[in-house]
Structure 1
């Protein structure tokens, strides 16, 4: 599927402020960037950072006053495979070294505190893909999607107690349950087709059968309509903007549409 994605962000910085931004589509095996453009209305030159392993990209700069940050791209994510019940769970000795950190607890995902619950709830389910799908079913049945009940400090533990939250809360709890069952899991930021209202979307991935599988625990957007931006241990690693000092968001417009197929365009 080919997708048009764009982000138009306007911020106000009261003093010169260093920022790190992650809004560009990642270079990854399951998506190809056909064209893209990034521009900022004012500020010094950007320092560009690319992580070789994940293909994700960030930029650093210092901004002051009212600044617009804009990005648009056309991305082809092909035929992204969906996780099935037969995907095999690896023993730790089989995992690539770079996957190992995603077995461990992190700031928003205290998986060590969920081991007893996860074992009781999911131990009887066949391991691997079937077990992860059972976790997604549990989230859908027991957690409500509700705005305003969580904050930037909410952890998976709080979401488990409140049984409500938004996309990052669902993903944190899903990651926590997977890690508690010895399945590597990581947070992912993405552009998402059909998400209402349009926004940056927080989802997660699990490592099974020798690859990462993208999942949306909220079930609000199709996996095949997502464009991966960044990944990490939890939301602290995938923020679309991290600033040295407080800043004010004046506007944020995210759009994702399906691009017409070339054959359809020629026929029209």
Structure 2
């Protein structure tokens, strides 16, 4: 299938404002692109790009005073298959995990797994099998948190979401990833596009989506505690320990968000 995706995000800057942006798709999906994936600015400003510590493509720009709009519109090939579900198998012992995976067992700013460890072991300690354990955590988080876009809070941690019982997709991902880490399952946070492909259309304005991946059976698998089911057409943009590592925009100043539009849909054949 062919998916069309893009965004238009505008900020009003009172002064010269350096910014870093996680707005490109992840390099692992670059070979699937049909048209270029380029962060464009209006008005035009020079940009630079680099790969961060997690292998994500990041754009640097110095916005001048006034309104700047970042925009993109591209097409990409997708298999059209739902997220792959792993076969259940015993968890890999921590001592046998690849060294580069160990960072995703540690507590982080938003995935404060250390604060959830006692609960996690009391709730999930008797579940055998890696995939079965992760699915049980997804089911729990799906029932624990009520989605409410109006309650989005950029400072909410996993334990806050556990206590509040309300949030947006990033809160589902943070809590599920934190509980997995507490149970010695490596888990990393992901952000990207997820359109209403193969599911009923959501009338709410579209946004970027958040989910998480776990390391099972020697590789990474996608899980989504908000939707609790494999989805079609997921396009990853960035991966990290939590949302702090993959923020869509980080401004070294105080710009005002003036416009935020995201689109992603299956293009007609």
Same fold, TM-score > 0.5, yes or no: yes
Matches within 5 A, 1:163-202: 163-194=165-196, 196-202=204-210
Shift of residue 43, structure 1, vs aligned partner:
4.6
Q: Judging changes above 3 Å, is the alpha-carbon distance between structure 1 residues 157 and 200 closer, same or farther for their aligned structure 2 residues?
A: same
Shift of residue 75, structure 1, vs aligned partner:
1.8
Contact 2:86 2:216 in 1 (8 A): no
- Whether 2:81 is the aligned partner of 1:73: answer no
1:252 and 1:219 map into 2 onto residues whose CA distance is: 23
Q: Which of 122, 127, 139 pairs up with 1:125?
A: 127
SS at match of 1:109: coil
- 2:199 equivalent in structure 1: none
- Whether 2:157 is the aligned partner of 1:160: answer no
Shift of residue 50, structure 1, vs aligned partner:
2.7
- 1:28 equivalent in structure 2: 28
- 1:209 equivalent in structure 2: 217
Shift of residue 183, structure 1, vs aligned partner:
0.5
Shift of residue 182, structure 1, vs aligned partner:
0.3
Q: Deviations over 1:144-175 (max 9, x none)?
A: 11233341111111111111111111111001
- 2:57 equivalent in structure 1: 57
Q: Which runs of 5+ in 2 are unaligned?
A: 197-201
Contact 1:187 1:203 in 2 (8 A): yes
Q: Judging changes above 3 Å, is the alpha-carbon distance between structure 1 residues 166 and 81 closer, same or farther for their aligned structure 2 residues?
A: closer
SS at match of 1:9: strand
Q: What TM-score comes out, normalization by structure 2 length?
A: 0.89
Greater mean deviation of Cα atoms: 217-226 or 166-175 = 217-226
SS at match of 2:244: helix
- 2:257 equivalent in structure 1: 249
Q: What TM-score comes out, normalization by structure 1 length?
A: 0.89
Q: Judging changes above 3 Å, is the alpha-carbon distance between structure 1 residues 221 and 81 closer, same or farther for their aligned structure 2 residues?
A: closer
2:189 and 2:10 map into 1 onto residues whose CA distance is: 25
Q: Deviations over 1:48-82 (max 9, x none)?
A: 1135974x311101002111111122122324542
Contact 1:20 1:242 in 2 (8 A): yes
Q: Judging changes above 3 Å, is the alpha-carbon distance between structure 1 residues 230 and 124 closer, same or farther for their aligned structure 2 residues?
A: same
Shift of residue 127, structure 1, vs aligned partner:
2.5
- 1:144 equivalent in structure 2: 146
Q: Judging changes above 3 Å, is the alpha-carbon distance between structure 1 residues 216 and 33 closer, same or farther for their aligned structure 2 residues?
A: same
- Whether 2:112 is the aligned partner of 1:110: answer yes
Matches within 5 A, 1:75-94: 75-78=76-79, 79=81, 81-84=83-86, 86-94=88-96
2:42 and 2:89 map into 1 onto residues whose CA distance is: 46
Contact 1:85 1:130 in 2 (8 A): no
